[in-house]
Amino acid sequence: MTALNLINVTLDYPDGEGTTTALNSVNLTAHPGEFISLIGPSGSGKSSLLAVAATLIKPTSGLVMVDGVDTTALNEKELAVLRRDKIGIIFQQPNLLPSLTAIEQLIITDHLRGASLRAAKSRAGELLELVGLGAAAKKRPHQLSGGQRQRVNIARALMAQPKVLLVDEPTAALDRERSESIVRLLVTVCKEFNVATLMVTHDTEFVPLSDAVASMLDGELTDPAPANQPVLLG
Ligand SMILES: Nc1ncnc2c1ncn2[C@@H]1O[C@H](COP(=O)(O)OP(=O)(O)OP(=O)(O)O)[C@@H](O)[C@H]1O
């Protein structure tokens, strides 16, 4: 089964009298454990594609399948549950809660999901180890570096054991060395947890670390190609 499948997805935003087509008949399939980079110029539709894949925006037409479920047929409540259980989202800014320690940032998401505190603590500890923050579990965001905060963000997104990981510009605020280690970490967790990963990036330098790359231009998407030979539109 595919983890994420966008079929003929079109997204129009209202724009004065008319509309702007942000996504134009986009098709994309991501399998468990597959890492796809999404590149393209500003305004080409990358964020819109992530928002639609995250089920945060309903497409104007087309289907968004997550773990075999047609999400366009679900109501808001069902979508919220699907997002909570199946989709991990990592934005450029980690958005950590300032007063919570690293481990608490993770535990709170699982607790909201109804997991027992003990199970949540144990999984959170394991995940922090995995992202290299075992020794920083009790630190608060202001005591962590930008790269460490992004690692907490990644660990938090994995708490629910998602089927799909959606990552938006994870390295935009980091220097080259930290950026590379964050992308490498994302590839590692993609494989380790068999989660389909879609990463929007401006940083073409790290694209070869992915399995495949798809590029966007004016709302259109190329088929993913091997990451060492990207097909550029335009
Ligand atoms: N909420 C909105 N309302 C109207 N138009 C929008 C909205 N969000 C995006 N757009 C338009 O949709 C198109 C695609 O935008 P989108 O943000 O998805 O591109 P992007 O590739 O992510 O750009 P960037 O790299 O700058 O983030 C653009 O023409 C943009 O102006």
* Sequential DSSP letters for 99-162: TS-HHHHHHHHHHHTT--HHHHHHHHHHHHHHTT-GGGTT--GGGS-HHHHHHHHHHHHHTT--
Question: Which of 46, 56, 58, 169 has most ligand 1 atoms within 8 Å of CB, for mutation?
Answer: 46
Find out whether 172 and 201 touch, Cβ atoms under 8 Å. Answer: no
Closest CA to 107 of 99, 98, 116, 93: 116
In short, whether 22's Cβ falls inside 6 Å of ligand 1 is yes
CA distance 125 to 147: 18
Ligand 1 proximity of 83 Cβ (cutoff 6 Å):
no
Q: In DSSP terms, which residues pair with 70 in a beta bridge?
A: 65
- Helix pair angle (102-112, 146-158), 10° resolution: 20
Task: Tell me which of 9, 12, 13 to substitute to probe ligand 1's pocket, judged by most ligand atoms within 8 Å of the beta carbon.
Answer: 13
Give me the residue label for tokens 């992202």: 131
**Residue with tokens 């702007």, as numbered in its chain:** 20
Instruction: Point out the ligand 1 atom lying closest to the alpha carbon of residue 15.
Output: 4
Alpha-carbon distance of 31 to 25, in angstroms, equals: 20
Cβ atoms of 230 and 215 closer than 8 Å? yes
pLDDT of residue 94: 83
Domain 4-98+164-226 is of which CATH architecture?
Answer: 3-Layer(aba) Sandwich (3.40)
Residue nearest to atom 18 of ligand 1 (CA): 45
At 232 the pLDDT is 54
Helix or strand (DSSP H, E) at 162: none
- Ligand 1 pocket test, pick from 20, 39, 49, 199 with the greatest ligand atom count within 8 Å of Cβ, gives 20
Q: 208 C-alpha to center of ligand 1: Å?
A: 26
Q: Is 172 in the pocket of ligand 1 (CB under 6 A)?
A: no
What integer pLDDT is reported at residue 89 of this predicted model?
94
Ligand 1 pocket, residue 92 CB under 6 Å: no
Q: Please work out whether the CB of residue 40 comes within 6 Å of at least one atom of ligand 1.
A: yes
- pTM of model > 0.90: yes
- How many CB atoms neighbour CB 53 within 10 A? 27
Residues lower than pLDDT 70 in the chain:
228-234
